[in-house]
Structure 1
Amino acid sequence: MDAVGPLSLAQKIDRLFDVVHRPDGTPYSNEEAARACREATGESFSATYLWQLRSGRRDNPTKRHLEALAGFFQVPPAYFFDDDQAAEIADQLRLLGALRDAGVRSVALRAVNLSPEALDTVSELIDIIGRREALRRQPPQAAAE
């Protein structure tokens, strides 16, 4: 589940488009994904239909369509059917999205050779900085309370 509950089908599909990109870093279009799904299933699957699924205007695709989308985005089909699996995969997708950020990727790559103790220290520092950032973003009266 997400922080506010399970994601809708539209949110799950949209998250895939937001996070899973081409090797050059650009997002896939509805047409590209729909074409791949047509080729995988041999069934009708248009860019308009995919847009309707992404926007929530349609919410009852066939199992084969969802399996084709899962295959295209290289996630297990359970992402669409099991909320616990979806939450776990969503966490992995968030990590993937964060790693696309050059600064995050640079920190992660430099941390690879650190000892477990040093990684714990880095993690604690990130937590402290995160709490300070959150306090700075609060309105002045909320921070004082």
Structure 2
Amino acid sequence: MSDDEPRVFSIAEKLDRLFTQIHARDQAEYTYTAVAEAIREQQGISISHTYIWQLRTGRRDNPTIQHLTALATFFGVPVAYFLDDVESRRIDGQLELLGTLRDAKVTEIALRAADISPSTRETVAEIIRKLWELENPASARDRRGARSFDGGRRRESGAEPA
């Protein structure tokens, strides 16, 4: 695999990501027992907490599609998360956003922003974009390079002018 090819993640790594990212705010991650019991009760599928632990730690790496589907359903992701690396990366991006929203109290900011004028909201959005660019200079350069200007309006490269 070359340096520019995306990394392929194992089922264990994907399952670990679900455990660490999907849980209620201010709550610890789900226990193996809680996941196994919920799957049995809600989906009628027999799975043990030990088997889930083995999958997460990579001690077992060839689960049945039934078990993958049950785990995906429990965590609220499509089963393709475990089977398709492109889908995994897309969902991982969403999980990262979920974690950011949960951990950074972004929801509180959004709720407060609802009570300010549209022009002030635009100013806040611009400040956040500038802060993001300061913290992510390489991504910001890539993003700026993929954009062009047309008649004073920014648009994505290749997009039709408005």
TM-score between the two structures when normalised by the length of structure 2: 0.67
Which structure dedicates a bigger proportion of its chain to helix? 1
The corresponding residue for 2:143 is: none
Q: 4+ residue runs of structure 1 moved beyond 6 angstroms?
A: none
Q: Of 38, 41, 56, which aligns to 1:39?
A: 41
Secondary structure class of the residue paired with 1:75:
coil
Question: Paired residue for 1:10?
Answer: 12
Aligned-partner Cα distance in 1 for 2:103–2:25: 14
| Uncovered stretches (5+) of structure 1, i.e. residues with no partner | 132-145
Residue 130 of structure 2 corresponds to residue 124 of structure 1:
yes
Provide the C-alpha distance between the structure 1 equivalents of 2:13 and 2:67, rounded to a whole number of angstroms: 16
* 1:20 matched to 2:22: yes
Report whether the alignment pairs 1:68 with 2:65. no
Larger Rg: 2
Corresponding residue for residue 94 of structure 2: 92
Alignment check: 8 A CA contact 1:66 1:80 kept: yes
Taking structure 1 as the reference length, the TM-score comes to: 0.74
Structure 2 unpaired stretches of 5+: 138-162
* Cα deviations by residue, 1:107-145 (Å, 9 ceiling, x for unpaired): 555566622x752442122221455xxxxxxxxxxxxxx
Q: What residue identity is the alignment partner of 1:123? A: R
- Could you say if the C-alpha distance between residues 119 and 24 of structure 1 is closer, same or farther in structure 2, counting changes exceeding 3 Å? closer
Aligned counterparts of 1:107 and 1:60: Cα–Cα separation in 2: 43
Q: Judging by fraction of residues, say which structure has more strand.
A: 2
Aligned residues with identical type, % of pairs = 47
Taking the aligned partners of 1:25 and 1:52, their CA distance within structure 2 comes to: 23
